Amino acid sequence: QVSQLANKFRGTLIGALLGDCLGAPFEGDFVVTKSVLTNYVTKLQVETGSVLQMYSYTDDTAMTKSVAESLLECKGFDAKDMAKRFTFEYEQQPKRGYGANVVDVFSALKLTDFEDPFAPAKAQFKGLGSYGNGSAMRISPVALFGYNMPFDQLCDLTKNCSLLTHTNRGGYNGAILQCLAIHQALHTNITDINEAAKFNSKEFLNSLIDSMTKVEKDETSQPFTDKLLSMKKVIEEEKELGALDIAYLFGHGVAAINSVPTAIYIFLRAQKPLQEYETDNVFVRTLYLSISVGGDTDTIASMACSLTGALYGATEIPEILIKRCEVNEEIMKLADNLYAAVMGK
């Protein structure tokens, strides 16, 4: 038996792993039909034969592991250490579906012997930096490690972890939004699934809007805040958006602006029963909706499932789904170690 907070820490990282592994087979599809998806998710939950079919993780988890390990080993942010872990992980297993351009950062880091670990990312896209979701997809350990951090410190830590690969504000602000959302879910006091009805999506979104307004206040435009404001309208009107509508309104692509808000909307939407997919489990609903929007399914599912895991904890996740994911035991251990680090044990 672990405490509910330890359970929420596990849910955060296991959710991220599960969305990545189970969402990956549909990456790049343009929305996924109800029949294909129902068949897939139903089969995932049934044990047939003696050997369970396993699902591989992709870059999302590879980089999440590196972030967690670096924070734990260095007891905080160490740019060189984290950059080295990203690069070595990539070198050992390059075929994990990394973004098309981020691999150039790893090569440049190695070539320059990690002398200035922030330099290669700055040169990406003719100096504009990457706005991909690659920094947001790996940020869950930061929300855990920064569980007790004040707002500004948490944002700074997130930004630093992002700048190693993503220097465009679309990239690092996307990571900040995802990190703040997880952090808020962790701090939302829900003792178990039976208290789900207490969760208030509107309040959750409003306080996220307040936070993101602070983050974007000195910038020339506020793209993330604007998207959250349009989400607020959708939620207040209690519209039940289908997959196409979600993809159209919030996006389903590899840019953080087209995937982080999408994951947050899906997390909020999955709180209530879905018309298209019948299941009582909020976690399974999150997975269904994430994959249904198509596009960057592994990353959207990873981010959305991490949020659901942070709110309810790992015990709400069907065990058979966890067992199907590669490295699930290792990820569970990382969550426990982060919990111990935060508790000062």
Interface positions with ligand 8NA (CB under 6 A): 27-28, 58-60, 97, 99-102, 125, 128, 130-134, 137, 168, 254, 296, 298-299
Among 60, 69, 89, 216, which residue interacts with Mg ion (rule: CB under 5 A)?
Answer: 60
**Is residue 253 within the footprint of Mg ion (CB under 5 A)?**
no
- Among the listed ranges 35-43, 275-283, 288-296, 320-328, the one in contact with Mg ion (CB under 5 A) is 288-296
100 binds, among ligand 8NA, Mg ion, none (CB under 5 to 8 A by kind): ligand 8NA
CB under 8 Å to 142, separation ≥6 — which residues?
67, 71, 154, 157, 158, 161, 179
Among 296, 307, 334, 337, which residue interacts with Mg ion (rule: CB under 5 A)?
Answer: 296
- Among the listed ranges 45-53, 92-100, 106-114, 284-292, the one in contact with Mg ion (CB under 5 A) is 92-100
Cα torsion 4, 12, 92, 21: sign: positive
Decide whether 57 or 204 has the Cβ nearer to ligand 8NA: 57
The H-assigned helical ranges of the chain are 4-23, 34-44, 59-74, 79-92, 102-111, 119-122, 140-145, 151-163, 169-187, 201-216, 223-236, 243-250, 260-269, 282-292, 297-312, 319-323, 328-342
Q: How far is CA 129 from the centre of its chain?
A: 21
- Among the listed ranges 6-14, 94-102, 195-203, 239-247, the one in contact with Mg ion (CB under 5 A) is 94-102
167 binds, among Mg ion, ligand 8NA, none (CB under 5 to 8 A by kind): none
CB of 16 vs ligand 8NA, minimal distance in Å:
12
CB of 60 vs Mg ion, minimal distance in Å:
4
CB under 8 Å to 31, separation ≥6 — which residues?
243, 244, 247, 252, 292, 293, 294
* 80: nearest Cα among 42, 29, 45, 118: 118
CB of 20 vs Mg ion, minimal distance in Å:
6
Contacts with Mg ion: how many residues (CB under 5 A)? Answer: 7
Decide whether 61 or 281 has the Cβ nearer to Mg ion: 61
Contact 53, 326 (CB under 8 A): no
Decide whether 36 or 128 has the Cβ nearer to ligand 8NA: 128
Q: Is 28 exposed, middle or buried (0-12, 13-18, 19+ CB in 10 A)?
A: exposed
The binding site for Mg ion (CB under 5 A) comprises 58-60, 97, 296, 298-299
